[in-house]
Amino acid sequence: MEIIETDILVAGGGLAGLAATARFAADGLGAVCVDPLPADAEGPDLRTTAFLMPAVETLERAGAWQAMAADATPLWTMRLVDAGGEGRHVREDCPFEAREMGDWPFGYNVTNRAARRALAERVAALPGARLIDRATVARVVRRSTEAVAVLADGRQVRARLVVAADGRDSALREAAGIAARRWHYGQKTLVFCVTHPAPHEGVSSEIHRTGGPLTLVPMPDLDGRPCSSVVWMVPGPRADELAAMDDARLGVEITAETMGLFGPLTVASPRAVWPIIGQIAARLDAERLALIAEAAHVIPPIGAQGLNMSLADIETLAGLVAEAHRAGRDIGAADLLSRYHRARWLEMAARVAGVDLLNRFAQAEAQPLRDLRRLGLRAIHGIAPVRHLAMRLGMGTR
């Protein structure tokens, strides 16, 4: 049976696993990624990802951004709208402008399919990287000097470091005995694309109403019409009801829900439904193992934080690994992994808690809480230094 030797094994080739593989290999390390999906599969993911600038920089270092940029739409304005009073009307409309901070947009919106294609191509092109597709990691034997991953087909991958990027139900996390706390919000997210009469002008809009936020993120024009992707969080039964509607009816519902802010909206894609959970792992390290991305943290899709946090995990781990590699030290050593845990866990926990709070406020039905949310938004937006701090925090920069 084949035995493959490498520096780093990445279990899971979702967007995070592929990005990690390219990022490590771009630094001259050997990195093997294992995932069940065929390498050239489009994938079933209809979502888009708003990559904020720090994440774009990581993708640039991985050499994958250039291919993604062709399909990317810049995000110049993050507009937060509060519509949490009685009836449907705008109570507060707060645009946060990237140009206030410099010449760069907040980030870029890319379809997950385009992102996956660019990352898979980059992994295929990098000399040290390899994607073993149509395969799963069945178990990992972790020793003091190396780790051996046994694939379901019997092949073995020997590495000095294993990175668990195997998603929210991470089997590697569980096998390592790392506890994870999971909670439910009773919400689901409906994802689809709409076209609208007026151009979006790079504005991403998050509308906060009772039940959960509704976000429209700019995309390239579709058949000559301005287009945005929709992430619509609602209580579970309402999501099922919306998902069952025909396109015309769903268009009427979303036009009403967006209070006509974008004119009449036309549904322009199939739709997908995602259950919303929160989850956090108790640690990010075990012997020869580092957790990244959804294996470590899952949050509701508010403020485009999820995969951006994952790219921050990757950047931090890649920095520590490259430093050890240059110095001829063990890249899977316990002290390196514990430094990774310390560098990421508190920041990660703060973001998970922050997004949890925002979601609970967004769900709030009690009028005093809705009013508090509106006042908070107005205060943050109204005071320039506080507004700039909020923008930096949202971007993951200081």
Strands 225-235 and 212-222 turn out to be antiparallel
Angle, CA 324 vertex, CA 62 and CA 23 arms, to 5°? 10
3-state SS record for 80-128: EEECCCCCCCCCEEEEEEHHHCCCCCCEEEEEHHHHHHHHHHHHHHCCC
> Is residue 31 a contact point for ligand FAD (CB under 6 A)?
no
* Among the listed residues 57, 101, 133, 136, the single contact to ligand FAD using CB under 6 A: 136
Site for ligand FAD in 53-112 (CB under 6 A): none
Q: Could you tell me the smallest distance in angstroms from the CB atom of residue 75 to ligand FAD?
A: 10
* Among the listed residues 71, 82, 92, 166, the single contact to ligand FAD using CB under 6 A: 166
β-strand partners of 142: 147
Q: What is the CA radius of gyration of the chain?
A: 21
Residue with smallest beta-carbon separation from ligand FAD = 14
Minimal CA–CA distance to 175: which of 228, 130, 138? 138
> Is residue 212 a contact point for ligand FAD (CB under 6 A)?
no
Q: Which is nearer to ligand FAD, 109 or 266 (CB)?
A: 109
> Is residue 35 a contact point for ligand FAD (CB under 6 A)?
yes
> Is residue 251 a contact point for ligand FAD (CB under 6 A)?
no
* Among the listed residues 2, 5, 28, 36, the single contact to ligand FAD using CB under 6 A: 36
| CB of 19 closer than 8 Å to CB of 63 | no
* Among the listed residues 165, 242, 280, 318, the single contact to ligand FAD using CB under 6 A: 165
Region from 73-81, 114-122, 283-291, 303-311 binding ligand FAD, contact rule CB under 6 A: 303-311
Q: Could you tell me the smallest distance in angstroms from the CB atom of residue 188 to ligand FAD?
A: 9
Q: Which residue has the tokens 């009427």?
A: 252
Region from 82-90, 123-131, 254-262, 298-306 binding ligand FAD, contact rule CB under 6 A: 298-306
Q: Could you tell me the smallest distance in angstroms from the CB atom of residue 368 to ligand FAD?
A: 30
Rounded to whole angstroms, what are the CA distances from 200 to 216, 248, 261?
Answer: 9, 21, 11
Site string for ligand FAD, 258-287 (x = CB under 6 A): ----------------x-------------
Q: Side chain identity at 338, as an amino acid letter?
A: S
> Is residue 301 a contact point for ligand FAD (CB under 6 A)?
yes
SS3 content of the chain, % helix, strand, coil (to 5): 35, 30, 30
Region from 8-16, 63-71, 123-131, 342-350 binding ligand FAD, contact rule CB under 6 A: 8-16
Q: Report the Cα 146 to chain-centroid distance in Å.
A: 30
SS3 state at 154? coil
Q: Which is nearer to ligand FAD, 83 or 137 (CB)?
A: 137
* Among the listed residues 9, 12, 285, 358, the single contact to ligand FAD using CB under 6 A: 12
Q: Which is nearer to ligand FAD, 46 or 333 (CB)?
A: 46
SS3 state at 7? coil
> Residue 197, class by beta-carbon neighbours within 10 Å (0-12 exposed, 13-18 middle, 19+ buried)?
exposed
| CB of 105 closer than 8 Å to CB of 98 | yes
CA atoms of 258 and 263, how far apart (whole Å): 9
Q: Could you tell me the smallest distance in angstroms from the CB atom of residue 151 to ligand FAD?
A: 8
CA atoms of 398 and 394, how far apart (whole Å): 10
Q: What are phi and psi of 83, to 5 degrees?
A: -130, 40
> Is residue 310 a contact point for ligand FAD (CB under 6 A)?
yes
CB atoms within 10 A of CB 218: 25
* Among the listed residues 49, 187, 195, 228, the single contact to ligand FAD using CB under 6 A: 49
Q: Which is nearer to ligand FAD, 171 or 337 (CB)?
A: 171
> Is residue 192 a contact point for ligand FAD (CB under 6 A)?
no
* Among the listed residues 7, 8, 17, 251, the single contact to ligand FAD using CB under 6 A: 17
Region from 45-53, 59-67, 113-121, 196-204 binding ligand FAD, contact rule CB under 6 A: 45-53
Q: Could you tell me the smallest distance in angstroms from the CB atom of residue 83 to ligand FAD?
A: 20
SS3 state at 243? helix
SS3 state at 161? strand
Which residues bind to ligand FAD, rule: CB under 6 A? Answer: 11-17, 34-37, 47, 49-50, 136-137, 165-167, 171, 189, 191, 231, 274, 293-294, 301, 304-308, 310
